[in-house]
Amino acid sequence: MVVTYSISPAYIQGPLIAATVFGVLATLSTALRLYAMHLKGLKPGISEFFLLFGVLLMYGALSLLYIMTKYGGMGLHIEDLPRESIVIAMKSLLSIEFIYGTSLGLVKTSIALFMVRIFGTKDGFKTGVIVAMFVVWAWVTSIILEAFLLCRPFPYNWDTSVGGTCGNRPAAFMVAGIMNVVTDIMVIALPLPHVWKLKLNVQKKIGLTSVFGVGIVISVISIIRLISIYKLNFDDPTYTLLDPIMWTVLEPQLAIICANMPFFKTIIAAFAPAMGSSADRKYGPGVSSGRTFDRLGHSENNGTYSMDPLDTKTHTVNVGHSFDSSKTANADVESVSSEEQRLASNASPYGINVIQKFDVEYEKASVRG
């Protein structure tokens, strides 16, 4: 018979409320990211698919947190719980371990692939991404193997009556947590050397560094989680696991929010243009603005951009040039706008300027009287 437990005590409600609120925020931030891409005329790519899988797993972890508290007696001493509740709590713990590692791996991969869109043509950047992703997924694999191999036989994880042994679980969790912080730093550091090589003023470089370095928040959460794991007592797991499990659920949620933050500029620019313009002046034009190109060197359309057909009337091309074709027969096309205007109109995300050159062919129609 399954026993249900009250979730009304404050020490239980706190973790549940925190995980629920940040779960909603993670979902909302993902929706805003997709909407921002829609405003830019972009379709979701492989980075977004990795992120969406991470979001789905996040919901799984959040559901398990509720199951552990409602049916597993989390927050209560183990000697006060029936065997059925302990089994539910410990099986849920195993599942959350698996989800935790996999969801963080998916989100970190999404972040790295997004960076490839921006810096994919930079020397050595893709190599750095490959190395970082190898380390990330080696860590994910270790988390999964740890969950399945730490206790033998496997059912001993949730039913000690079968007899068996477990390794040092707190130590294993600590090592995994430290490696998680290392992978955080590796992913965060990927774009920073390239940002500081850009021909931008120091203020803009600092702004770009803050955009890409926002993931340091996840490292802080990882460290807090490590501290809570250090206090674990597996002789009374249902009583001491509540806080570590809360941070385990929160960390992927905050990682998702951080992964989506670079896209918020597009939303701000769409609904509060004045704020968007202010950000342009501070950090450089177009932090994911609606007029930007999506990566350095080439786009998802192999470097091609659609343009409207020209006739003898005045046209505004989507790269920022407005001209009268009837007056350009003997004029230099480069005189249409200043260098500053062209750079502003061709601004890539995060203030990285990309100059696109177009050859315009036209025929001057002869006029017969």
Tell me: the pLDDT tens digits for 354-368? 444 555 555 555 555
pTM of the model: 0.74
- 239 confidence band (pLDDT: 50, 70, 90): very high
Among residues 98, 67, 73, the alpha carbon closest in space to that of 86 is found at 73
Q: What is the pLDDT of residues 40-99, one digit of tens each?
A: 898 999 999 999 999 999 999 999 999 999 999 999 999 999 999 999 999 999 999 999
Which has the higher per-residue pLDDT, 185 or 306?
A: 185
| CATH class given for the domain over 10-268 | mainly alpha
Tell me which residue has tokens 């190599």. Answer: 127
Cα atoms in the Cβ-side hemisphere of radius 13 Å centred on 231: 12
Q: Which helix (H) or strand (E) holds 75?
A: none
**367: amino acid identity, one letter:** V
Task: Give the model's pLDDT for residue 274.
Answer: 60
Q: What secondary structure, in 3-state letters, does 303-367 show?
A: CCCCCCCCCCCEEECCCCCEEEHHHCCCCCHHHHCCHHHHHHHCEEHHHEECCCCCCCCCCCCCC
- Average pLDDT over the chain, rounded to an integer: 78
CA angle 183, 46, 208 (to 5 degrees): 55
Q: What is the pLDDT of residues 157-205, one digit of tens each?
A: 999 889 999 988 888 888 999 999 999 999 988 888 877 777 777 777 7
Spatial CB neighbours of 228, under 8 Å, sequence gap ≥ 6: 243, 244, 247
Q: Hey, which residues does 323 pair with through a beta bridge?
A: 315
Task: Give the model's pLDDT for residue 190.
Answer: 85
Tell me which residue has tokens 């999404």. Answer: 110
Check: CB of residue 49 under 8 Å from CB of residue 107.
Answer: no
- 323 confidence band (pLDDT: 50, 70, 90): very low
So where are the chain's domains? Answer: 10-268, 276-353
